[in-house]
A = this chain, B = another copy of it.
């Protein structure tokens, strides 16, 4: 029964993580007591330290899991065949709604970034989460919906920065999700549409078409 043993350990780790998430959320990082987390996970205080080296690592695990789940949710929230604009809209809505719903955990994220006095390591799971946006944007550029010289990282900062601030604004005002925030944000993306001038049907464009056709031909010959 080496398998059930492993499962029991995993269940325990999960119980600790769940308890920690709850307590951190309710009391904040400083207010959270390791004793309380242990009590809710139904283990002794020392046991927590068998799974996580210290309070900060436990915090990191909680935050890490949160963003991993968020990534899953984001991918699920995006319609596969939709237009780039539609997908951005879906991602923005999902993101804003999540930030509002789990405001407490989101706030705690900044705490997990701090290691000792040094600020801002990138958390791996946030990097992963951001890839969802990057993939949509890249597709937008490939599809010529956005001009090719678009600096994705700058737009990403606009996208996430705006939504984060908007979420804070809404929560502080005790308001719910506001669709106008999304509409407003999406309108900014019109900025990145390729210039409406005559280079639309130029030689560069046709080479892109030929490249795509070549890829299709290559795929066809595989069958």
Contact = CB atoms under 8 A, between A and B. Distances in A.
Nearest to A28: B117
A81 B118 CA distance: 41
Contacts of A111: 111
Interface in A184-223: 184-185, 187-188, 190-191, 193-194, 196, 198, 200-203, 205-221, 223
- Measured as residues with beta carbon below 8 angstroms from the partner, the interface class of chain A is 35 or more
Given A194-B206, A212-B213, 19 more contacts: A26-B117, A27-B117, A30-B116, A81-B215, A120-B172, A139-B214, A142-B210, A151-B184, A157-B169, A158-B188, A160-B161, A161-B163, A162-B162, A164-B164, A187-B191, A190-B198, A193-B202, A196-B201, A212-B217
Contacts of A202: 193-194, 196, 200
Nearest to A153: B169
A64 interface: no
A112 to B, nearest CB: 12
A122 to B, nearest CB: 6
B200 A203 contact: yes
